[in-house]
Chain A
Amino acid sequence: MSSLSVNAASGSFVLLQVGNRRFALSAANVAELAPPVRLHAFPHESALVIGVIVRRGRIVPVYDVAPILIGRPSGTHRFYLIASRFFDGVPEPSAIPLHGECELANGEVAPAGPGSPSYVSGNLSVADQQIPVLDLEALVTNSAATGARDAAFWSKS
């Protein structure tokens, strides 16, 4: 954990904003919040990946999860959240464009409601709000078709 100094203890979550919606991600997965540095794009065939950024001397893939979460590409964003994905047990930093400030929160996590997208592992109770807790791995491996359906789910909820 670097300059963000997130408490990685269980039960700690980073609240993040994508579009005008708030989501929660386990703080244990989050490394830092980075400024909107230059995105480098090149031809590829991987869904949701829009390019790479360079962060601390490492090349970090950028996932635009906004089409799944809010039904449209992220467009102009303010930060990158750097979180870890694991491939065969090896962590790989991954960047997610965000539209607003992040904050840390602790709270009770209730099971996800019926019909919730597969990448929602529960709902975090914070100040009388129920904030969906994202499963990063399930989110970024979500198919485009599922994404469209899930965007419709969020628009109704």
Chain B
Amino acid sequence: MKIAAHDSAKPRRSRAVESMILFTVGRQLFLIAAEAVQEIRSTDGLASAAFEIEVPELPKVTHFFERRNRAWFIVSACAHFRLPVTRPMLVLILRQARAALLVDHIVRMVEIPAVHSLPRAFSGDERRWYRGLAYLEDQVIPVLEPTGVLTRGEVARLDSHAATLVAAGDILGGAQS
């Protein structure tokens, strides 16, 4: 029985390239479309504007902040992806979801020619987490799905908790949806 020769990977589809942000959470690399990110802040810069929130069934969310009179929820990427806890330095404030993701480090901007569908073998929460997979410099890297960071139901639950905190006077301002 012969073994097929080793072949180099190549994009299967030619499409317009997409600008993406390559970032790390612990030792894991991720990509997110640049247009899905509204702003990148340091955790230090956001600390003074963030309020603590504790929802037992959503331990990945520990803080929220107000923007345009709405609550934006800060999500630990470590907890979201069930990775070992790290010390995040940056917050990616997302555009398509009222969520901000705590990440460790931005590596650089990259141009991605194709996002491959997540194989159907992946059947768990990762189908919500990822838009697909990209091939970059001999590595397969998951591409984050921004709307998968928090579901609508989770946002509604968090809004309710945030509104309760505001009503109880536990925080200043009027964070609510």
A residues with CB within 8 A of B: 2-5, 32-35, 37-38, 40, 42-46, 49, 52, 54-61, 63, 79, 85, 87, 90, 92, 94, 101-104, 140
Q: Is the interface of B mostly helix, strand, loop or mixed?
A: loop
Partner of A92, one of B3, B116, B120: B120
Contact B7 A55 (CB under 8 A): yes
What is the total number of residues of chain B having a CB less than 8 Å from a CB of chain A?
Answer: 32
Shortest 8 CB-CB distances between A and B: which pairs? A45-B124, A61-B121, A54-B9, A3-B4, A40-B140, A44-B126, A43-B81, A87-B120
What are some 29 contacts across the A-B interface (CB < 8 A)? Answer: A2-B4, A4-B1, A32-B4, A33-B1, A35-B3, A38-B138, A40-B139, A40-B140, A43-B28, A43-B81, A43-B82, A44-B122, A44-B125, A45-B82, A46-B124, A46-B126, A52-B133, A57-B9, A57-B10, A57-B11, A58-B12, A58-B116, A59-B135, A85-B120, A85-B121, A90-B120, A94-B121, A101-B1, A104-B1
Is B108 in the interface zone, CB < 8 Å from A? no
- A31 and chain B: residue at smallest CB distance: B4
- B135 and chain A: residue at smallest CB distance: A54
Contact A46 B121 (CB under 8 A): yes
- B10 and chain A: residue at smallest CB distance: A57
Separation in Å of the A23 CB from the closest CB of chain B?
15
Supplied contacts A42-B140, A59-B140, A60-B119, 11 more A-B pairs, CB within 8 Å: A3-B3, A38-B138, A40-B140, A45-B124, A52-B133, A54-B140, A63-B121, A85-B121, A90-B120, A94-B121, A104-B1
User: Which chain A positions have C-beta within 8 A of B120?
Assistant: 85, 87, 90, 92
Residues of chain B in range 1-26 having any CB-CB distance to chain A below 8 Å = 1-7, 9-12
- A94 and chain B: residue at smallest CB distance: B121
User: Which chain B positions have C-beta within 8 A of A61?
Assistant: 119, 121-122
Max chain A C-beta neighbours (<10 A), residue from B3, B6, B81, B122: B3
Max chain B C-beta neighbours (<10 A), residue from A5, A40, A92, A104: A40
Max chain B C-beta neighbours (<10 A), residue from A37, A45, A61: A45
Chain B 75-117 near chain A by CB (<8 Å), digits 1 or 0:
0000001110000000000000000000000000000000010
Separation in Å of the A128 CB from the closest CB of chain B?
22
Separation in Å of the B52 CB from the closest CB of chain A?
26
Is B48 in the interface zone, CB < 8 Å from A? no
Is B142 in the interface zone, CB < 8 Å from A? yes
User: Which chain B positions have C-beta within 8 A of A46?
Assistant: 121-124, 126
Contact status of A43 and B83, CB under 8 A, knowing A52-B133, A87-B120: yes
Cα separation A4 to B1 with both chains bound (whole Å): 7
User: Which chain A positions have C-beta within 8 A of B34?
Assistant: none
Separation in Å of the B86 CB from the closest CB of chain A?
13
Residues of chain B in range 26-56 having any CB-CB distance to chain A below 8 Å = 28
